[in-house]
Structure 1
């Protein structure tokens, strides 16, 4: 694949256009830095000093960092301050160059000089946490990833992304995380990736970093996220001259937006994956700025300059699948662009705020946005542009979960409503959904019209009695983890949401009913317990397990055979004191029902030690749960999850040598080990490796 050369590279980044300070770094070529920190600076006082010193004070150590600060024609003392700081740090160099008009030019200058294994772009307004670079480099080294996102922190109210930083992610990608929501370049990039792609920043005053970061994401061999440490502090300047504020007009965004669309189209083939990534640009770079900024322009400039570009992007990059995934306001804008209706588009953008507050109308089981264009015969806009059925908010809260008396009935009370649709219908119901194993959903009727707490509206109240003895079509609830959902119904509209509670005590905890021993008369010979609990996000779940299922597993080791990469070896030893059923076979059950078994081989000289060798090379793709079958009918013991077990890869001869992989998962039923088996996507793998 040809390298991506972002167009219009700034000529001020050439070696002839800048001068270095007298002090040069003393770092030996035999010991290149781990990180080159590139700081573009233009009239950056007084924030600049803290920015640079935050790099000098990194725990990674000065021998592992080079600082390249580029003074982009400043007139406020930025240049002299950089020179002063460089005299105190032998690993800092300063470049002075004529003003380029944006941050891309000085960043390119820094890239031309960088010698580190990684590059990190730090804006002169901002600063780093002391341990930021060490943590990010360690994350990249340990997981062999090409891009690392460090948690961003807002200083003084500047907006920063939050969704991607909910938890650490050692290795992910843009399809499995929220990483693509943040396209700022304030990240750690493996320099070999940047140079292999020929990446440089275009000379735009706004959105210049989005195409750069997008291209890196789309070609990265893995992305990491450091979320448990405040790495990057983002702040507004005291004088208010941040580029994002002074270059916020529509004209400053157009070139960068065009290049974003072109970059995604270059690296992703048409289809759902491209639609998922392209949607971000349609929402954030097309519809959002068009709605907010186009009405500020003169009608002539809007019609002749901006509108043709927006129309071309809507026609070229918004597939029908992507169109259906958009919100109704965005769908309406894209439809008007596609159908070349400039006057109607201007009407919609000028009245966007007023129209967003309009209510909804229900018709034949669907909910529509009550926009003035809805079913206006003169406008002839399709109903699909206004359909909000699957997006209308559902407000609900589980107020209490408690056992009733001494029986096996769990009572759930709360309130729920579909926004603007009135009281609950009697057909509202609870749904118990299996987590990680195959079983049909179990519906449980709800009684509506009750007020769970004083002051609640009875029309939105519900009560559900879950009788664990008969809930599954007259049978007791089976073993496993069950997630609770609420099928909320009003005016013929049905929306299903995960049942949850937001209320906590002063320690941030949520009260749950105690674990309960289930009625032995209903489950003869199968003593079991039910454990209601809330997840970290407040979602309600219920675990049912045999009482002895939590006993210590006899398995002592799970590993891949070093001589046969597609063979899993499970070893164990029975407790000398423990009674109970004797394991006889290693069993693997797929989520689609297929079963594989191999016998346990007990040692001749030790009748309590066993080993089993399970070949996985011919398993069908899917999730496989591993248990030990015992000599007691219907009794199985889970093979426990082990942190030491990694994934493995092999070639399947029957599939023309196609590579497959098996990867351990952590959410098997009753704590059992689960393996995901799937073919390796060759095209994606080759793209990551070769670019």
Structure 2
């Protein structure tokens, strides 16, 4: 029997009905069944999982089924499959997820072409389950954990070269939770290169219909302690102390140490916390958490770690118990820095340094570009048709959140990223502006900035190259710099213009919007980077008259921008149920590619639905992002009220809408109780 290229390993426990989609997606891979072996391990299921696997195996000679008694963890069935796997590569596929049809072929080709040991295929959220996104911003033929975001994702849903696994004698520890993180960490730390496939949707990640995913059911801190300890020990085993170890350790400090303490510690008994959990956590802090790691964390994690270092047990419990209340406390501005006004800030008995409460570098800059336009002059008409004085005026507002605009000052900063030109700063005129969330605090947030391109560089012309635009926003001595967004809507970006620069030479200036939605300038005809996505979403809303209809607006990009015939908006839940609606062009002259898609949600069952845009001929869908302006919708279906609202943090890149059937009796009771309380108050 020839050796397969890939062994697909599927641990399965009570995995119906998702299991059928999972196994079928492996059987239908374009790499071909002659290149595959699928090893499914039925871990003592009681719901028909074993019977379904046997049925599928009878249809597919490449599917091997192993039945065993229940082990209570995905680790044991994965190890059983690893012991018999023969493929050059191993791919771990969970029984509730499924693969894109061309996923394995693309990932194997990537590993072969670049001689890499691990390949990450782009993950997609189905029904709102969280997926990693940072590492999939771009395809990376060859990288490592120090120069990419790969180490942020320690789930084992990846392609591993089997020789790496066997050389390290890697197997999964038999834990109910966090069992895959030490395995993946060890593989990362010893891999001969990592590849990332980001231009194709490889892995579809979803929750089970019955909600019995181990990740969801094993949620006690005690289920995570052993795995977390192994993560720290694994990193310490393979990396010497220093910046590289700190970079990797930081991930475990944030996600495996601090995160679970905040939301899981108080679920444990007082005795377990004091006698078992707290001493071990302190040991991790003493051995693995350095000052450079703490400096990079968010303030509440810094505070927690300083208290653990100082062995202040009661304070640790107190800050965790009061975390929600303390998160809403205000700020103190002192010496050009902003501090979290926590009860322990500058409390002598706590001994926590001011740096633990410093939030200056984490304060968001809220800004909006209202207009970007060439100023009229004798040599040109403002539309880029002739040579002129080359003054680009930008207007809008900008402020640092939680810092009132006293002594406000804003500068435009231009930085060239493909030529060796010095940074250019253009002072803006600050003025009062109305209509912001807090008019009084941010009264002087408005600005006007004129970029005179022929003289912007200290009296000299702006150099040839592509320039990124930033805003340096200051108030009360506090300074924050942020990348400048494009005008709203992005279609207001001014056209290219021929400008008379040094020595009377005409130079082409092209303003453009990057694929991240930021404003840049190309000076001297440099090629503007292409946006390969088929479209860009500019707005989401609920239809004014057709209740429960989601409206998605956007603009087509790249080739075929005027052909919206095949573009559709889609919603999909964790069961794989879908509903789609076509997009239609909305521009009167049909030349700018703007479109609108209207999708009725009325009649869909309750649950979470992921919203995307699709187009034939493109390897991946375009995400419909979560935009703040989208509120909630209400409608009646079959005489029953329903609501739909966006789930803010369900996915970092894609809008997830949750539909609920309204419990009328409960709603009435709640309103009556509220009315009674108000009357008594």
Alignment TM-score > 0.5, same fold = yes
Aligned 8 A contact 1:501 1:538 in 2: yes
Look up the match of 1:515.
496
> Mapping of 1:51-200 within 5 angstroms?
51-200=22-171
Separation (CA, whole Å) in 2 of partners of 1:106 and 1:60: 25
Look up the match of 1:480.
465
In the alignment, structure 1 residue 463 sits paired with structure 2 residue 448: yes
Give the deviation of 1:495 after TM superposition: 0.7
Q: Which moved more, 1:136-145 or 1:210-219?
A: 136-145
Instruction: Give 2:191's match in structure 1, choosing from 211, 216, 220.
Output: 220
Aligned 8 A contact 2:408 2:476 in 1: no
Are the structure 2 counterparts of residues 335 and 533 from structure 1 closer, same or farther at C-alpha, using a change threshold of 3 Å?
A: same
Cα deviations by residue, 1:602-658 (Å, 9 ceiling, x for unpaired): xxxxxxxxxxxxxxxxxxxxxxxxxxxxxxxxxxxxxxxxxxxxxxxxxxxxxxxxx
Separation (CA, whole Å) in 2 of partners of 1:41 and 1:67: 13
Instruction: Give 2:178's match in structure 1, choosing from 187, 194, 207.
Output: 207
Give the deviation of 1:111 after TM superposition: 0.5
Are the structure 2 counterparts of residues 502 and 167 from structure 1 closer, same or farther at C-alpha, using a change threshold of 3 Å?
A: farther
RMSD over aligned CA atoms reads 2.0
Cα deviations by residue, 1:452-495 (Å, 9 ceiling, x for unpaired): 99998752111111112322222222222222111100111011
In the alignment, structure 1 residue 436 sits paired with structure 2 residue 415: no
Instruction: Give 1:498's match in structure 2, choosing from 474, 479, 483.
Output: 483
Aligned 8 A contact 2:14 2:49 in 1: yes
Aligned 8 A contact 1:424 1:488 in 2: no
SS in structure 1 at match of 2:281: helix
Are the structure 2 counterparts of residues 331 and 418 from structure 1 closer, same or farther at C-alpha, using a change threshold of 3 Å?
A: same
Separation (CA, whole Å) in 2 of partners of 1:516 and 1:127: 49
Separation (CA, whole Å) in 2 of partners of 1:304 and 1:165: 42
Q: Given the two structures, how large is their TM-score scaled by the length of structure 2? A: 0.73
Q: Which moved more, 1:365-374 or 1:294-303?
A: 294-303
Instruction: Give 1:304's match in structure 2, choosing from 255, 267, 275.
Output: 275
Instruction: Give 2:390's match in structure 1, choosing from 408, 432, 436.
Output: 408
Instruction: Give 1:535's match in structure 2, choosing from 502, 514, 518.
Output: 514
Instruction: Give 2:400's match in structure 1, choosing from 418, 421, 435.
Output: 418
Are the structure 2 counterparts of residues 453 and 479 from structure 1 closer, same or farther at C-alpha, using a change threshold of 3 Å?
A: farther
Separation (CA, whole Å) in 1 of partners of 2:514 and 2:32: 40
Aligned 8 A contact 2:486 2:493 in 1: no
Aligned 8 A contact 1:452 1:462 in 2: no
SS in structure 2 at match of 1:518: strand
Aligned 8 A contact 1:414 1:452 in 2: no
Question: How many residues end up aligned between the 2 structures?
Answer: 513
Separation (CA, whole Å) in 1 of partners of 2:89 and 2:443: 60
Aligned 8 A contact 2:220 2:267 in 1: no
Cα deviations by residue, 1:166-209 (Å, 9 ceiling, x for unpaired): 23222222222222111110111111111111110000000000
Give the deviation of 1:497 after TM superposition: 1.2
Are the structure 2 counterparts of residues 46 and 426 from structure 1 closer, same or farther at C-alpha, using a change threshold of 3 Å?
A: closer
Cα deviations by residue, 1:502-525 (Å, 9 ceiling, x for unpaired): 733xxxx54322222222xx5226
Separation (CA, whole Å) in 2 of partners of 1:495 and 1:242: 43
Give the deviation of 1:451 after TM superposition: 3.9
Look up the match of 2:656.
none
Separation (CA, whole Å) in 2 of partners of 1:243 and 1:422: 47
- Larger relative contact order (C-alpha < 8 A, sep ≥ 6)? 2
Separation (CA, whole Å) in 1 of partners of 2:240 and 2:156: 24
SS in structure 2 at match of 1:459: coil
SS in structure 2 at match of 1:139: helix
Q: Which structure has the larger Rg? A: 1
> Mapping of 1:223-242 within 5 angstroms?
223-242=194-213
Cα deviations by residue, 1:82-106 (Å, 9 ceiling, x for unpaired): 2222222211211122222201111
Aligned 8 A contact 2:136 2:196 in 1: yes
Separation (CA, whole Å) in 1 of partners of 2:459 and 2:100: 59
Give the deviation of 1:213 after TM superposition: 0.8
Separation (CA, whole Å) in 1 of partners of 2:466 and 2:56: 59
Aligned 8 A contact 1:34 1:65 in 2: yes
Q: Given the two structures, how large is their TM-score scaled by the length of structure 1? A: 0.71
Instruction: Give 1:370's match in structure 2, choosing from 341, 354, 364.
Output: 341
SS in structure 1 at match of 2:425: strand
> Mapping of 1:285-434 within 5 angstroms?
285-406=256-377, 407-423=389-405, 425-434=407-416
Cα deviations by residue, 1:193-252 (Å, 9 ceiling, x for unpaired): 111111100000000000111111112122222222222222222221110111111000
Are the structure 2 counterparts of residues 157 and 448 from structure 1 closer, same or farther at C-alpha, using a change threshold of 3 Å?
A: same
In the alignment, structure 1 segments of 5+ residues that lack a partner are 1-27, 551-691
Cα deviations by residue, 1:239-286 (Å, 9 ceiling, x for unpaired): 211101111110000000011111111122222222111111111100
Give the deviation of 1:426 after TM superposition: 4.4
Separation (CA, whole Å) in 1 of partners of 2:443 and 2:284: 49
SS in structure 2 at match of 1:500: coil
Instruction: Give 2:430's match in structure 1, choosing from 448, 468, 485.
Output: 448
Q: Which moved more, 1:222-231 or 1:277-286?
A: 222-231
Give the deviation of 1:302 after TM superposition: 0.5
Q: Which moved more, 1:456-465 or 1:103-112?
A: 456-465
Aligned 8 A contact 1:481 1:542 in 2: yes
Separation (CA, whole Å) in 2 of partners of 1:80 and 1:466: 70
In the alignment, structure 2 segments of 5+ residues that lack a partner are 378-388, 528-681
Aligned 8 A contact 1:424 1:489 in 2: no
Aligned 8 A contact 2:460 2:502 in 1: no
Separation (CA, whole Å) in 1 of partners of 2:421 and 2:345: 42
Give the deviation of 1:382 after TM superposition: 1.2
Q: Which moved more, 1:130-139 or 1:412-421?
A: 130-139
Separation (CA, whole Å) in 1 of partners of 2:187 and 2:123: 19
Q: Which moved more, 1:268-277 or 1:386-395?
A: 268-277
Look up the match of 1:44.
15
> Mapping of 1:496-645 within 5 angstroms?
496-501=481-486, 503-504=488-489, 509-519=490-500, 523-524=502-503, 526-545=505-524
Cα deviations by residue, 1:65-122 (Å, 9 ceiling, x for unpaired): 1011111222222222222222222112111222222011110111110000110111
Aligned 8 A contact 1:502 1:538 in 2: no
